């Protein structure tokens, strides 16, 4: 348990950061889920639009330290290749 004033303050700050980061992560996941749903529906235009909106959200997660740079890059790469493959399948 935090005893010193400084450790109490750090605990408060950590709690606040946790809440902000949790909201950010949730928002990113929502955007990614929208891309996944568009891919599953087979609508390439909707999937492209959803991916276009998800990319800056993931990039923002990287700059805020919520998501690792390589993780975001990997997710964008895999999603974009899946979106492109919709046209080939159709």
Write out pLDDT tens, residues 7-17: 999 999 999 99
pTM over 0.85: yes
Beta carbons of 57 and 31 less than 8 angstroms apart: yes
Right CATH number for 5-89 from 2.40.50.1020, 1.20.58.110, 3.30.420.10, 2.40.50.40?
1.20.58.110
Q: For the chain, what are the domain ranges? A: 5-89
| Calpha distance 76→51 (Å, rounded) | 8
Length of the chain: 90
What is d(CA 58, CA 52) in angstroms, rounded to the nearest whole number? 11
Average pLDDT score over residue span 27-47? 96
pLDDT surpassing 70 at residue 90 = no
CA neighbours within 13 Å on the CB side: how many for 27? 16
Cβ contact 44:87 at 8 Å = yes
* pLDDT for 1: 77
């Amino acid at each position: 348990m935090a005893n010193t004033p400084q450790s109490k303050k750090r605990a408060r700050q950590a709690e606040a950061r946790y809440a902000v980061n949790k909201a950010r992560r949730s928002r990113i996941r929502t955007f990614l889920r929208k891309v996944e749903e568009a891919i599953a529906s087979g609508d390439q235009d909707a999937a492209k639009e959803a991916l276009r909106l998800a990319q800056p959200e993931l990039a923002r997660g990287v700059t805020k330290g919520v998501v690792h740079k390589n993780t975001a890059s990997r997710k964008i790469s895999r999603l974009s290749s899946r979106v492109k493959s919709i046209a080939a399948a159709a």
